[in-house]
Amino acid sequence: MLKILRASVLALAIASVAEAEELSVATFVPPSHETVTGMFAWFGREIEERSGGTLTMKLYPAGQLGAGPVQQYKRAVEGVADITFGVAALTPTLFPKTMLAIPPGKALNAVDSTQRLWRVFDTYMADEWSAVKVLALGNPAGAMLVSTKDVSTMEGMQGAKIVPFAAMTTPVIQGMGAVPVALPPTDHYTALSTGTIDAAVSTINNLLPPWHLDAVADYAIVNTPATFNVTFVVMNLERYQGLSEEHRAILDELAGLPMSMELAKSFDHADNLAIDWVAEQIAAGALKVEWIVASDAERAKMEAAAAEGMAQIYEEYAARGIDNAEEIYRALNQ
């Protein structure tokens, strides 16, 4: 009887080991990034606790499974990693309807914009993501212009070379009189330092590590129309479908709005910390850049120019066979 009991215990232990799953997670950002210390830390705890330790994750930060942010979606589709974090706007032709969450509108911050996106996701955007299991979509706020020239007014905007938060907002930048320049976030530091660009639309926390844009800029300008940049956490579909029913159920409970809110909160938390840091630096007379709050009158002019730019975007969408772009944008901004 004792032998049978031992054999049964051993069999259960072996079965438990066989069922254990570790999910590989690839991200191009460093370990100190807010998405790692915030959302991914939360995700790792949740899946381990809910599964009793049988479902875990291993993070590969800083491009360890492939350098750069551009190929992150492809890496998930092809199974280079089980899960990847990336920026949807770097492959905009794959997600044209999702891109309409990027231009200036009524959203004020990452949480607000992310909630708006998920209210309309199933109706308008889900089909664009059918090749993967979507775990999260969250929108950091480009609420700051970090620059080497004063672009806090429409006059200052004229002819300035500015990197938008996403290339699809090019008509908006052009409407303000500026010259859009397409560059990934990883190139902003060098481009500002060499004079390749005059400004970049950025999150406020990019003044801090790991980006340190305050070291190469002269101005940080806020109270301009915020744009957004849809980021994603997606999972290889076959890998998801190959998990046990129990493990799939855990991911289903976390995926969508719950994990997306953790992503958005990570972005907003980082910006709030940066705002506190800026206030401390200003009080100490130690801020390396000039902090400028654009006037409400200048912001109104920028918003009017942005609205005119949206009309051009709708025309471009229609030419590509998407006739309801304005409907989607309005739904996002109700």
pLDDT tens digits along 34-57: 999 999 999 999 999 999 999 999
Q: In the chain, where are the structural domains located?
A: 20-138+230-270, 142-227+276-332
- Please write the tens of the pLDDT for every residue from 285-326: 999 999 999 999 999 999 999 888 999 999 999 999 999 999
Asked if domains 20-138+230-270 and 142-227+276-332 share a fold, the reply is yes
* Alpha carbon distance 106, 8 (integer Å): 61
CA atoms within 13 A on the CB side of 154: 16
pLDDT at res. 63: 97
- Average pLDDT over all residues of the chain: 93
* DSSP classification of residue 92: G
Residue 251 three-state SS: helix
Share of the chain above pLDDT 90, in %: 88
**Four-way CATH pick for 142-227+276-332: 3.50.50.60, 1.10.630.10, 3.40.190.170, 3.90.550.10:** 3.40.190.170
The topology (CATH level 3) of 20-138+230-270 is D-Maltodextrin-Binding Protein; domain 2 (3.40.190)
DSSP string, 101-115: GSSSSS--SHHHHHH
pLDDT, one tens digit for every residue, the chain (334 residues):
555 455 444 444 434 444 899 999 999 999 999 999 999 999 999 999 999 999 999 999 999 999 989 999 999 999 999 999 999 998 999 999 999 999 999 998 999 999 999 999 999 999 999 999 999 999 999 999 999 999 999 999 999 999 998 888 999 999 999 999 998 888 999 999 999 999 999 999 999 988 899 999 999 999 999 999 999 999 999 999 999 999 999 999 999 999 999 999 999 999 999 999 999 999 999 999 999 999 999 999 999 998 889 999 999 999 999 999 999 999 999 9
| Full-model pTM | 0.88
pLDDT at res. 10: 43
Given a contact cutoff of 8 angstroms between Cβ atoms, the answer to whether 110 and 268 are in contact is yes
Given a contact cutoff of 8 angstroms between Cβ atoms, the answer to whether 142 and 226 are in contact is yes
* Alpha carbon distance 156, 229 (integer Å): 24
pLDDT at res. 133: 98
